[in-house]
Structure formats: C-alpha cells, structure tokens
Amino acid sequence: MEQKTYDRQSGKLIARIAENLPEMSGEVMQGWIDDPKGLQKFLLGLRRFIWTVVSDGHNANALIGALEAKGRRVSNWAKDVMSKAGFKTTKGQAYNFVVIRGDEFAVDAERTTANIFAEGARRRYRKPPADAAALLREKFTQEELGFPYVVVMHEPITDSDGYPRLLVLYRGDGGGRLYAWRAGPDRQWDRGRVFVFLAPQD
C-alpha cells in the first residue's frame, strides 16, 4: 500500500516539476508517471529545483505555531534546535530546493554527513538556512514531497545536549512531522534518505 501511495504522489510531483520544463513532450511525461520508479529516474538527471518556498519573517515560535495549526507535528528536539541562536529566520527570500538521493552513494559507508555536504558543494548546491525546513514542512505534506524521509542540509545546529542536528521531514499524523536528527560529520545515513540543498545561483 505504501509503495502505491508514493507511486501516485511521484506522478503528481513529476507533473508539478514539468510546469517548469514546458519543452517536455506529453509522451515522455506519461512514461515517467506510469513507471513505478519514474520519479527516481527523473531526479537522477534533474539539475533544476523541485520545490520552492518563500520566507515570511516569522520567528521560531510563530513557525512552530503555524505548523501545529496545520496539524503538523514538531518534535521536542526540533523545538530545541529552533530555540538556538543558529536558527535564524528571513523575510521575502525564495528558497529553490534540489536533492541528492541517498542511493547516489554506491558505498553505504561513504554516505556520511561530511561527504553529503562535500558532494553538495561539488555540484555548487548551497546550504539552506534552517528556517527553510519549517517552511517546507508547512507547505508540503510528505506525500506531496514524494519521499518518506527528507533531510534538510542546513548548517548543523548544536542541541542542548551538545550534539549537532539537522532538521528532518518525515511521515506522521496531519501530513508530516518535523524532527531533528543527530548529524555529526561521520554519521552514516540510510540509503532511503534524500538530502535537500538550495539550487545553485546562476
């Protein structure tokens, strides 16, 4: 059941991406939608952004309130990270996101926080500000994102126990949860995660 759900959502996401790529033929698009792995194949060669949010200037408490008002669940660790000085907010900034999929690292041991940041830099991807994770969570359910686990690759923020953490989006009641996972440089991530950066500036 879960696989079919994500197949349908993949088709919706592909269709939304195509709005930015009008030169695609309908036949090509339908072929991707019909393919259960269409989204993954599409993203393999994609170098354009797939989601966009605009910052609204709300502080951490207001962002948490907006998330909870929509039924999104914010974990205690996410709230802890959002209370730190490293969590800054902006207003009127458009964030265009791109992803690196976990399965792009052929060797599991190489899928570490440090290596993912290095690969992002190699592609000229930029680290998003941490508030982008909350805005992404507010705008999209997990099904709309099309991936079960989305790790936002902002500068890690040290939690109250002294561990660096990254904000993470995953499934849950009300369309999704916002969590914060430990993200030391040597942490090895699972193959099924996707890692979110900002698109390169032209």
pTM, two decimals, is 0.77
What pLDDT, on the 0 to 100 scale, is given for residue 50? 75
C-alpha to C-alpha distance for 64 and 70, rounded to whole angstroms? 10
The dihedral over CA atoms of 54, 146, 99, 160, expressed in degrees to the nearest 10, equals 70
C-alpha to C-alpha distance for 117 and 85, rounded to whole angstroms? 22
Helix 38-45 to helix 2-18 angle (10° resolution) is 40
Among 35-39, 53-57, 185-189, which range has the highest average pLDDT?
A: 185-189
What does the pLDDT average to over 41-65?
A: 77
Model confidence at 20: pLDDT above 70: no
101-140: pLDDT as tens digits: 999 999 999 999 999 999 999 999 999 999 999 999 999 9
Q: Tell me what the pLDDT averaged over the chain comes to.
A: 84
Model confidence at 149: pLDDT above 90: yes
What pLDDT, on the 0 to 100 scale, is given for residue 172? 73
Model confidence at 56: pLDDT above 60: yes
Q: What percent of the chain has pLDDT over 90?
A: 67
Q: What is the DSSP letter of 100?
A: E
Rounded (to 5) percent helix, strand, coil in the chain: 40, 25, 35
- The first and second tokens of residue 9, run together, are 């959502």
Model confidence at 43: pLDDT above 70: no
Model confidence at 174: pLDDT above 70: no
What pLDDT, on the 0 to 100 scale, is given for residue 33? 55
Which phi-psi region, left, alpha or beta, contains residue 162 (left: φ > 0; alpha: ψ -120 to 50)? left
